[in-house]
Every structure is written in C-alpha cells, then in structure tokens.
C-alpha cells in the first residue's frame, strides 16, 4: 500500500480534518507542541498579529494513532509519522538540541519509522550569539549534527530541511518520516552539500540534503542565494531571488536528477506549498511581485518575515515539486 501524504495551507481558525497527521500554526504564539482536537499541533510565532497567520495541515489516508512522550508529540498511520518538539530559549543550544533531537530520532525508531524525509527547524535569535560568542545557528547545528551522527541509526542519510528564524521563545522543530518507502536525498550540483560546508561556517556543518524525493514528490529544502558554499549578491534582493530560484529550478530539473539516477524532472511551475522567508519588512511588496512572476499562478505561497541563518541572506524559499497539477 502506498498512501499519499499531502499538505495544505488554511486559515489558522478554520476547521481542519480530525484525522490530520499534523497541524503547524504559523501565528503569533509559540510553545511546546500538544495534541489539539486529537491532532499534533506545533505553534510557531512567525507574525506579530494572529490575523496574519496561517496553518499547515498534513493529511494521509488511513487510521491514525497519536500520542506524546518526553515533550514530543506524534501521529502516524501505517506509512507516515509526524513528530514535533520544542527546546526552550537558552544561551546555549548544543546539548539541549542534541538531546531533544536524539529523543525524537529514538522515538521514530521505536515506532518503526526509520526514514526521515522532511524536517523543519525554527530557531529564535538565529543570528544572535550564545554565551560563548558562537552564533546561535552554529550552536544549534553542532547539537543537531551530533544527534544525526549518534542517534539517527538509519543509513538513508540526512533529509531535506529548513533551518530558519522564528519570533518564538524557543526552537520549534518537526519532521515527517516513513517506513519502507523509497526515499532519495538529492544534492544540487550548483551548491556544496550543506553537510560538507567548510568550518568557517561553524564547528559542525548543517545536517540536511537539498531535497528529498518520495514517490513522485520532491520536497525542496529551504534554498537561498548560495553558490558552492558562498553567499552571493549580499544586499541585493532581486539578485538573491534569482540565484535562489535558479538553484531550485536546477535542483528539481531533469539534468540534476538524472545525474543522481532519478528519471523525473520538474520545473518551477510544478512547485507548490511554497514558503518565502524574507528578512526585511520593506522587502515584502518586491518579494510578492517576484514570487508572482516566478511561480505558477495556482501555487499556494505564504510569506514569513524572519531572520535567516546567514546574516547576509535576504530571502529563502522552500516548496514541494510534483506532477500532480499537470494531470489534474
Ligand atoms: C543554506 O543553504 C541556507 O540548517 O536546516 C537551508 C535549509 C539552510 C536548511 C538547516 C539551512 C537549513 O545553507 C540555510
């Protein structure tokens, strides 16, 4: 059996499926995840006002079991697991991250969902310094890397991910995992694999793949204006936008996928469920225009004003590529 897993964006107050796997509320509050109306819910403070927010709902057919343990909440059907957790705000993240992620990986293993295919990490004060003077993102990356090295037993590799700012009082994280499905982690020949970034970006490299393919769906990681391992076009929003979207187009295109043994290729018009993270409020009108010119007019796009993991990045984009729309 292969059930599909799908996400959609809805109003934060809208009625949602009681058998949803997950609900992530991008609103004006944050905190540890809980089970709300039977559905694991992670609240991330991403906006100053509740009315600006939205919720992302993940659904998959079949009976669902949900629960919570160790501050983690989860839900799964026969094929897919969602798990979320939270690390309170701190001036040192390495150990807490290592433990929280280690617990989450152990839970996924115990529930027999060994393959993580998409992960999100929302980090407060991401460009700030911890009590050793190390940038918070780098501190976080150190703990996450150790958890992947020591507690993530699965050989399928590191998943597609987003590591981005939040206005909340702690790190909110969540991931999706599966059992036996074929999961393929994809790299981008225009970019150095993040897990091979040189040490100048931090003591431990970020733990993620540029994308992950599951069945006919390619989950695209947060993607920015980085070529090789270097930020390009510091201070220039339009140019950063074009490098970021060219990076996505290349990642999901036939040439890059074929070089990694995959047959399907996608274009930017196959991208949906798009999140555009932008650093400066004043850039929103421009970012909206650029998105309208770049993506399919039917694609769902949401905009979030947050800090980005490198102080010189102005914009970062994630989404999901599939051929579904074409055959609609
Ligand atoms: C980059 O390419 C930009 O730390 O999980 C993108 C996606 C980025 C995921 C993460 C970071 C992460 O390095 C930043």
CATH number at residue 172: 3.30.1330.40
Distance CA 160, CA 167 (A): 23
The confidence score (pLDDT) of residue 153 equals 77
Q: How does residue 323 score in pLDDT terms, banded at 50, 70 and 90? A: very high
Å from CA of 158 to ligand 1 middle: 12
**Nearest residue by C-alpha to atom 11 in ligand 1:** 163
Distance CA 218, CA 186 (A): 9
Number of domains in the chain: 1
Residue 303 belongs to a domain: yes
**Residue 158: which domain range?**
6-327
The confidence score (pLDDT) of residue 328 equals 45
Work out which ligand 1 atom sits closest to the CA atom of 221.
7
Mean pLDDT over each residue of the chain, to the nearest integer:
95
User: Does 6 participate in catalysis according to the annotation?
Assistant: no
The pLDDT > 90 percentage for the chain reads 93
pLDDT tens for 102-139 read 999 999 999 999 999 999 999 999 999 999 999 999 99
Longest dimension (CA), the chain: 53
User: Which one of 56, 79, 316, 318 is the catalytic residue?
Assistant: 316
**Burial class of residue 317 (count of CB atoms within 10 Å of its CB; 0-12, 13-18, 19+):** buried
Residue 113 belongs to a domain: yes
Residue 1 belongs to a domain: no
**Pocket probe mutation, ligand 1, options 190, 222, 232, 244, max atoms within 8 Å of Cβ:** 222
Mean pLDDT of 224-243: 98
Work out which ligand 1 atom sits closest to the CA atom of 226.
2
**Nearest residue by C-alpha to atom 12 in ligand 1:** 163
Residue 27 belongs to a domain: yes
Asked whether the predicted pLDDT for residue 19 surpasses 90, the reply is no
**Nearest residue by C-alpha to atom 10 in ligand 1:** 163
Mean pLDDT of 160-177: 98
């Amino acid at each position: 059996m292969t059930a599909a897993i799908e996400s959609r964006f809805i109003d934060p107050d809208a009625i949602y499926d009681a058998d949803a796997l997950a609900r992530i509320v991008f609103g004006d509050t944050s905190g540890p995840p809980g089970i709300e109306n039977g559905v694991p819910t992670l609240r991330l403070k991403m906006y100053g006002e509740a009315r600006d927010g939205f919720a992302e709902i993940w659904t998959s057919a079949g009976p669902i079991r949900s629960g919570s343990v160790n501050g983690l909440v989860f839900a799964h059907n026969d094929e897919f697991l969602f798990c979320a957790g939270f690390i309170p705000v701190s001036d040192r993240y390495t150990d807490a991250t290592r433990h929280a992620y280690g617990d989450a990986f152990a839970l996924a293993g115990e529930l027999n969902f060994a393959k993580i295919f998409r992960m999100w990490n929302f980090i407060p004060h991401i460009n700030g310094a911890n009590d050793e003077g190390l940038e918070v993102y780098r501190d976080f990356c150190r703990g996450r890397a150790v958890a992947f090295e020591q507690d993530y037993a699965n050989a399928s590799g590191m998943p597609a991910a987003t590591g981005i700012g939040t206005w909340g009082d702690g790190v909110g994280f969540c991931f999706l995992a599966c059992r036996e499905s074929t999961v393929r982690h994809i790299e981008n020949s225009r970019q150095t694999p993040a897990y091979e970034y040189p040490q100048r970006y931090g003591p431990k490299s970020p733990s993620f793949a540029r994308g992950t393919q599951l069945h006919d769906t390619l989950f695209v990681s947060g993607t920015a204006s980085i070529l090789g391992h270097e930020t390009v076009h510091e201070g220039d929003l339009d140019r950063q936008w074009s490098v970021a979207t060219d990076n996505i187009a290349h990642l999901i295109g036939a040439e890059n996928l074929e070089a990694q043994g995959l047959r399907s290729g996608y274009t930017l018009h196959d991208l949906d469920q798009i999140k555009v993270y932008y650093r400066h409020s004043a850039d929103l009108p421009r970012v909206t225009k650029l998105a309208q010119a770049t993506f399919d007019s039917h694609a769902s796009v949401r905009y979030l004003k947050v800090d980005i993991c490198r102080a010189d990045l102005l914009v970062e984009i994630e989404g999901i590529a599939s051929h579904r729309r074409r055959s609609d």
